Amino acid sequence: MGSFPRFTLGFLIVSCILYQCSAFEVDSNQTARFFVNSSEASARKIPETLFGIFFEEINHAGAGGLWAELVNNRGFEAGGQNTPSNIDPWSIIGDGSSLIVATDRSSCFDRNKIALRMEVLCDGQGTNVCPVGGVGIYNPGFWGMNIEQGKTYKVVLYVRSLQSVNISVSLTGSNGFQTLATANIIAADISTWTKAEVLLEAKETNHNARLQLTTSKKGVIWFDQVSAMPLDTYKGHGFRNDLVGMLRDLKPQFIRFPGGCFVEGEWLRNAFRWKETIGPWEERPGHFGDVWKYWTDDGLGYFEFLQLAEDLGSSPVWVFNNGISHNDQVASAIIAPFLQEILDSIEFSRGDSNSTWGSVRAAMGHPEPFHLRYVAVGNEDCGKKNYRGNYLKFYYAIKQAYPDIKIISNCDGSTRQLDHPADYYDYHIYSDASTVFSLARKFDHTSRSGPKAFVSEYAVTGKDAGTGSLLAALAEAGFLIGVERNSDVVEMASYAPLFVNANNRQWNPDAIVFNSFQLYGTPSYWMQHFFTESSGGTLFNSTLQANSSSSLVASAISWQNLEDNKNYIRIKAVNFGSNTVNLKVSIDGVEPNSFQSYGSTKKVLTSSNLMDENSFKEPNKVVPVESQLEDAGEDMEVILSPHSFTSFDLSIESPNLQMPGAGTDSVRKSSN
Ligand code: AHR
């Protein structure tokens, strides 16, 4: 320092103060290197099944959600089998001087005996004249029906009366004043139960509509099994088009259903019983799901779940009740009837149309078998007293009858070996963001022998998640990169829960939020889009070198796009830290100049605030933003923004170039 001129020191101090800001920015940029070995020897095929979805009847995901039925409690059964009973959410138009309604047990359907008796006291003329528009009942659906101008709705109902009737069937606004569509059922002789059908074309739109059955004619009318469905449903199979669209975009390789705790029930008497959910919809008894505490008419039943799987091109994963609920259990010694139920369910799905249960499926319009190849014995029941005993009975009986069916155990085999045979073990993780992010390494050291892992439920929950935050999505992306890298032992993974009706949030967060007419994906939904090409793709060995590697994870895969018939290498990286990262990527094992900038893209999921969420008002606040990737090459430098998830799709020059490790059956073609 002695020989340093004094003015130089002064200059240095001043310039450090002046440049403090930018100096900080430069210092805060971190560099990292990502080496990808894309040689054939390093490549490993990713299971075709890796990424799928888990549908649970929770948050009105199905009833009042994916299932397009507009009437809630269509058979008046929700109030129970003892009469008189509550008919909620049905209500009356008129008052005690003009009509009396009460449930009785006069239905023509054996499994759901409750019907509604409506005694009309007023008339078109005389001393007790009905009010203008008549008196009757209405159903508001699930927090309002979405009725859209120009669309047609099919109303089906069962009716009986000893007099002639003139009933108006109308779709109206929430207070009944705005008539959206109306038709009349006029009948002289309906002294036995009669099915009536009307088609209503809406002349206006109302997202909060209701269905009314009214009359101005004195007499007694019974109603039962009243349904209103839009004609326009996905493939005509009864699913709400917009919600299925969100699922299709995820290209799910499997669909796990119907729960979750929904399968178990708080008590066995309220668990999901598949036989009660099949056959003509009018004959289904419906049930009260006592875990999530709402009634379902079970229009979305076992058959419809299998149909949905087929429509999505996904493998069904049937989670069945194994004689265990949250509060009661069937002893293994007397589990045989439960076991028979499940064998019957498999026959229903796979048996030929001459078999006992296959013929029931055929009668429902699906003579060809469904492709059921996965079943899970219960949900989260491993620790329970009878689990192992019951499990073994199910396992051996199913394997004997259907050796190809893969059986999923509830017991976690990631930390110790299972003490029973299984094809998969179930792994669920709900935790805060840093725990979930750190679990990217969870499967690095698990045993490579024994059953494979099925991560059937994962999500960040609690404060970090809000009702669906960017922070949660980033942590989950890190976890999934770990899953992808370990896809030799983890063969299936799905986020949970999938859907929430915003009017009935029982579980936070969820992937897709909707009401009667709107919907949006949470950041966790969009995060899953980065993995849609992974199932069936090819994973490459890669190494990440970074100063603070604890906030970075990355992977590299190849995949083939059928739409443009091109091969791509996709690099995905999560920057979980608050610094910008300059990432130097080097890809070995490809010919020089293999990549072309044209067609190469970059996709980023980030936002200005870690806790940012999407909403009905701002559905696209946190969504992936795609741009052209300039300078795509074997050696390239890319920027990872703070708190971001980025993917780089490098387009390979020659469409005929055989990707390393990508033999004809080792690359999944993207066809959706
Ligand atoms: O996904 C919500 C619930 O979380 C599921 O029903 C259950 O399996 C888990 O505890």
| Model confidence at 28: pLDDT above 90 | no
Q: Are residues 101 and 211 in the same domain?
A: yes
pLDDT tens, position by position, 557-613: 999 998 889 999 999 999 999 999 999 999 999 888 899 888 999 999 999 999 999
* Element housing 116 (H / E): strand 115-120
Centre of ligand 1 from the C-alpha of residue 361, in Å: 29
CA distances from 560 to 652, 654, 666 (A): 10, 12, 10
Return d(Cα 73, Cα 230) in angstroms, integer: 17
Centre of ligand 1 from the C-alpha of residue 505, in Å: 14
Task: Judge if the beta carbon of residue 259 lies within 6 A of ligand 1.
Answer: yes
pLDDT at residue number 593: 87
119 lies in some domain: yes
- Residues in CB range of 670: below 8 A, 6 or more apart: 251, 532, 533, 559, 560, 561, 562, 563
pLDDT at residue number 603: 98
Task: Judge if the beta carbon of residue 496 lies within 6 A of ligand 1.
Answer: yes
Centre of ligand 1 from the C-alpha of residue 220, in Å: 46
CB 234 within 8 A of CB 240: yes
Annotated catalytic residues are 380
Centre of ligand 1 from the C-alpha of residue 456, in Å: 10
- CATH number, domain with residue 314: 3.20.20.80
Q: Are residues 386 and 493 in the same domain?
A: yes
| Model confidence at 15: pLDDT above 60 | no
| Model confidence at 342: pLDDT above 60 | yes
Phi, psi of 623, rounded to the nearest 5 degrees: -135, 160
| Model confidence at 339: pLDDT above 90 | yes
pLDDT at residue number 12: 34
pLDDT tens, position by position, 623-664: 999 999 988 999 999 999 999 999 999 999 754 444 544 443
Q: Are residues 633 and 562 in the same domain?
A: yes
Atom of ligand 1 nearest to the CA of 291: 6
- Residues in CB range of 372: below 8 A, 6 or more apart: 306, 316, 318, 346, 349, 350, 405
The residue type of 565 is: N
* Element housing 346 (H / E): helix 336-350
* Element housing 99 (H / E): strand 99-104
Q: Are residues 283 and 301 in the same domain?
A: yes
36 lies in some domain: yes
pLDDT tens, position by position, 467-517: 999 999 999 999 999 999 999 999 999 999 999 999 999 999 999 999 999
Centre of ligand 1 from the C-alpha of residue 225, in Å: 31
Return d(Cα 419, Cα 412) in angstroms, integer: 11
pLDDT at residue number 332: 98
pLDDT at residue number 11: 35
Q: Are residues 420 and 313 in the same domain?
A: yes
CA distances from 607 to 387, 433, 468, 538, 613 (A): 45, 16, 13, 30, 9
**Mean pLDDT, rounded, for 435-445:** 97
Q: Are residues 483 and 403 in the same domain?
A: yes
Return d(Cα 493, Cα 54) in angstroms, integer: 9
Q: What number of helices (H) and strands (E) belong to the chain?
A: 11, 36
Atom of ligand 1 nearest to the CA of 430: 4
In the chain, the number of structural domains is 3
Centre of ligand 1 from the C-alpha of residue 88, in Å: 27
**Closest C-alpha to ligand 1, atom 4:** 260
Best residue among 507, 512, 524 to mutate for probing ligand 1's pocket (most ligand atoms within 8 Å of CB) is: 507
pLDDT at residue number 547: 76
**Closest C-alpha to ligand 1, atom 8:** 260
Atom of ligand 1 nearest to the CA of 262: 6
Query: Could you say which DSSP state residue 515 is in?
Result: -
Return d(Cα 358, Cα 108) in angstroms, integer: 26
Atom of ligand 1 nearest to the CA of 457: 1
pLDDT tens, position by position, 410-438: 999 999 999 999 999 999 999 999 999 99
Task: Judge if the beta carbon of residue 57 lies within 6 A of ligand 1.
Answer: no
Query: Could you say which DSSP state residue 67 is in?
Result: B
- A 10 A CB-CB count for 391 gives 27
**Closest C-alpha to ligand 1, atom 6:** 260
- CATH number, domain with residue 211: 2.60.120.260
Phi, psi of 428, rounded to the nearest 5 degrees: -115, 135
The number of CA neighbours under 13 Å toward the Cβ of 211 is 29
Task: Judge if the beta carbon of residue 429 lies within 6 A of ligand 1.
Answer: no
CB 91 within 8 A of CB 532: no
| Average pLDDT along the chain | 93
- Predicted confidence band of residue 546 (pLDDT cuts 50, 70, 90): confident
Nearest CA to 61 among 515, 375, 462? Answer: 515
Task: Judge if the beta carbon of residue 490 lies within 6 A of ligand 1.
Answer: no
* 308, 313, 315, 318: CA torsion to nearest 10: 0
81 lies in some domain: no
CB 122 within 8 A of CB 97: yes
Q: Are residues 310 and 367 in the same domain?
A: yes
Q: Are residues 459 and 482 in the same domain?
A: yes
Q: Which residues is 406 bridged to in the sheet?
A: 374
80 lies in some domain: no
Task: Judge if the beta carbon of residue 378 lies within 6 A of ligand 1.
Answer: no
**Closest C-alpha to ligand 1, atom 2:** 497
If you search the block for the tokens 């799987």, which residue do you land on? 309
Task: Judge if the beta carbon of residue 376 lies within 6 A of ligand 1.
Answer: no
Tokens of 251: 């290209």
pLDDT at residue number 265: 98
Q: Report helix, strand or coil for 529.
A: helix
- A 10 A CB-CB count for 13 gives 10
Task: Judge if the beta carbon of residue 261 lies within 6 A of ligand 1.
Answer: yes
Phi, psi of 257, rounded to the nearest 5 degrees: -155, 165
Q: Are residues 497 and 415 in the same domain?
A: yes
- CATH number, domain with residue 579: 2.60.40.1180
340 lies in some domain: yes
> Where does a domain end: 230, 245, 269?
230
425 lies in some domain: yes
Query: Could you say which DSSP state residue 647 is in?
Result: E
> Where does a domain end: 500, 529, 558?
529
Task: Judge if the beta carbon of residue 59 lies within 6 A of ligand 1.
Answer: no
Dihedral over Cα of 292, 293, 296, 301: its sign: positive
Atom of ligand 1 nearest to the CA of 259: 6
pLDDT at residue number 549: 60
- Residues in CB range of 351: below 8 A, 6 or more apart: 357, 358, 361, 369
> Where does a domain end: 494, 529, 564?
529
Q: Are residues 286 and 249 in the same domain?
A: yes
| Model confidence at 164: pLDDT above 70 | yes
Q: Which conformational region is residue 593 in: left (phi greater than 0), alpha (psi within -120 to 50 degrees), or beta? A: left
Share of the chain above pLDDT 70, in %: 93
Centre of ligand 1 from the C-alpha of residue 371, in Å: 25
Best residue among 262, 266, 380 to mutate for probing ligand 1's pocket (most ligand atoms within 8 Å of CB) is: 380
249 lies in some domain: yes
| Model confidence at 14: pLDDT above 50 | no
Atom of ligand 1 nearest to the CA of 380: 8
- Residues in CB range of 169: below 8 A, 6 or more apart: 155, 157, 182, 183, 184, 185, 198, 200, 211, 212, 213
User: ∠ at Cα 120 (119, 123), nearest 5°?
Assistant: 155
Return d(Cα 2, Cα 435) in angstroms, integer: 53
pLDDT tens, position by position, 251-303: 999 999 999 999 999 999 999 999 999 999 999 999 999 999 999 999 999 99
**Mean pLDDT, rounded, for 393-410:** 98
Task: Judge if the beta carbon of residue 530 lies within 6 A of ligand 1.
Answer: no
Q: Calculate the CA 43 to chain-centre distance.
A: 31
**Mean pLDDT, rounded, for 444-465:** 97
- Predicted confidence band of residue 466 (pLDDT cuts 50, 70, 90): very high
Q: Both ends of the chain: CA-CA distance in Å?
A: 69
Task: Judge if the beta carbon of residue 497 lies within 6 A of ligand 1.
Answer: yes
- Predicted confidence band of residue 555 (pLDDT cuts 50, 70, 90): very high
Share of the chain above pLDDT 90, in %: 89
Q: Are residues 211 and 264 in the same domain?
A: no
Q: Are residues 292 and 366 in the same domain?
A: yes
pLDDT at residue number 619: 98
CA distances from 279 to 229, 270, 299, 341, 348 (A): 18, 20, 10, 16, 11
Residue 219 structural domain = 91-230
**Closest C-alpha to ligand 1, atom 9:** 260
- Residue 200 CB burial class (10 angstroms; 0-12, 13-18, ≥19): buried
CA distances from 106 to 81, 443, 625 (A): 12, 58, 58
273 lies in some domain: yes
